[in-house]
Each structure stands twice: as structure tokens, then as C-alpha cells.
Amino acid sequence: MSSSRKHFPIIDVSAENVSLSVSRPLSLALLGSLSNPQPRCPVVLLLDCSSSMDGRPIEELQRAVSLFYEEMTSDPVARLSVEICVIPFGGNVKVMRPFETVMEAAKRPRPSLTAEGTTPMGEAISLGLDQIRQRRDYYRQHGHAAYKPWMVLMTDGQPNDDWQEPAAAARRRAEQGRLFFIGLGIGDEVDMGTLRNILPADAPPMQLKGLRFAEFFRWLSDSLKVVTSGSTTQQRSIPAVDDYDWTL
């Protein structure tokens, strides 16, 4: 194996201890938890849907996100463990899909992405962190063990809002071992310098080769399958990026 191949660090997926109280009647949410006792792996997709993504880029991203859901659904463990939250940012920032397991997501149409507006990346990062905090609270309240959260940032430009404070908060969580935060630059106009300042030093951004979104999401789905195949206290090595040919 060549020493130049790109690897992310071995991922520490260890989770916070979760206690389950049985001193009060079981809520409907807790009954749902008992029907699916698998540990949860929350994944936030921060997707640049600004106007510069219009045309083939947004079409390829849409297709790849749909394939990602299909890949995750095909795995008997990951479909119960991986919970996806989709946050597009283009003009407005919104939670298009709140956290739900892939199995739950299979019951509804895939997220529909459109390209419009500017690039409020800082607001998107802040919203992503808020969603993760809320979901971790939910896991603790309802007795779910959990893997380390993932946050994936994809952009073809540069932020046009105040991004420094949200980025610093995300980096701190990553440096404390509480978040796996990765970023992907798209196209020739992406500001890779700003992306490097946003992301943790040990997980610098990579640039997508052409519009190979599908290859990236295949790597992501295979990585999540590896993570969820073990316990929440294991450190696991995810697949090498170069095996998937999606980065320059």
C-alpha cells in the first residue's frame, strides 16, 4: 500500500454513557426506542445549494444523495443505526429532513434539492451543531447508546456570512473527540483556503474530482457501515479515500 494514499485518522466512535430510567411509565418515544435498540450514529449533511450549484451540479448532488439513502438502506445494521439530518444552505438555511433512521426515511420521498441564493455557511454550521446537541439529548433521555456524530460540509464557493464563531465551535467539538467534521470542495471556484480554516487541522478539506458526488457518498456509506458494525466503544479504521477515486 502506497504511503501517499489518503486516510482519515482512525475514528474514535466511543459514546457518552446513557442511563435508562424505568421509574416512570414508558413514553411512546421510549417504546419506539425499545423496538429498535441499535446504537445510533447521527450524520448531518450540510449541502451548499446556492445559485452557483444550478444545473448539472445540483442534479448530480441530488442523484448522489438518493443513492446514499439506498446504499444505507441495503445494510441490515446501518439502516437501523444511521440517522441522517439534511440541511441545505442557499439563501435560506433550514432543516429539510430532521434526524431519522435510514429505515424510517425509506418510507418517504428522497430530499429534493434546488439551487438558489447565496452561501450562508456559518449559519448552516451553527444549525448543524444545534441539531446534533438536541439529538444527543434525545438519545440520553430515551436510553440510546450512540456513536460519535458526523457532520459533512459540501460547498462550491465561500461563506457570505459570519462563519468564524460557528466554525470554531465545530473545531472544538472535533478536537475534543465529540464530532467527526469533514469538508468537501466542489468545482474550480471553491475557496479551499477558507475551508481549511473552518475544518479541524487533522481533517483538512478535500476537493471533489469533477462531479463525482456518487463516489463520495459511496465512500461515506461504506465508512458508516464500518463504524456501525462495531460497538460504540471501539476505534475503527474507515476505508481509504483513494480506493473510491472521488478526490483530486
Whether residue 212 contacts residue 245, with contact meaning beta carbons closer than 8 Å, is answered with yes
What are the sequence ranges of the domains in the chain? 51-231
Which pLDDT tens digit goes with each residue over 87-102?
999 989 999 999 999 9
Q: Residue 70 has what pLDDT?
A: 95
Q: Residue 26 has what pLDDT?
A: 40
DSSP-assigned letters across all residues of 133-198: HHHHHHHHHHT--BPPPEEEEEESS--SS--HHHHHHHHHHHHTTS-EEEEEE-SSS--HHHHHHH
Q: Residue 122 has what pLDDT?
A: 98
Q: Indicate the angle between helix axes 28-35 and 121-142, nearest 10 degrees.
A: 90
Asked whether the CA dihedral 114, 213, 224, 43 is positive or negative, the reply is negative
Collect the ranges in the chain with pLDDT lower than 70.
Answer: 1-34
The three-point CA angle 45-47-50 to 5° equals: 165
CATH of domain 51-231: 3.40.50.410
Q: Residue 167 has what pLDDT?
A: 98
Q: Which residues pair with 154 in a beta bridge?
A: 47, 184
Q: Residue 18 has what pLDDT?
A: 36
Q: How far is CA 128 from the centre of its chain?
A: 9
Closest listed residue to residue 135, CA positions, set 144, 124, 125: 144
Residue type, 11: I
Which pLDDT tens digit goes with each residue over 47-82?
999 999 999 999 999 999 999 999 999 999 999 999
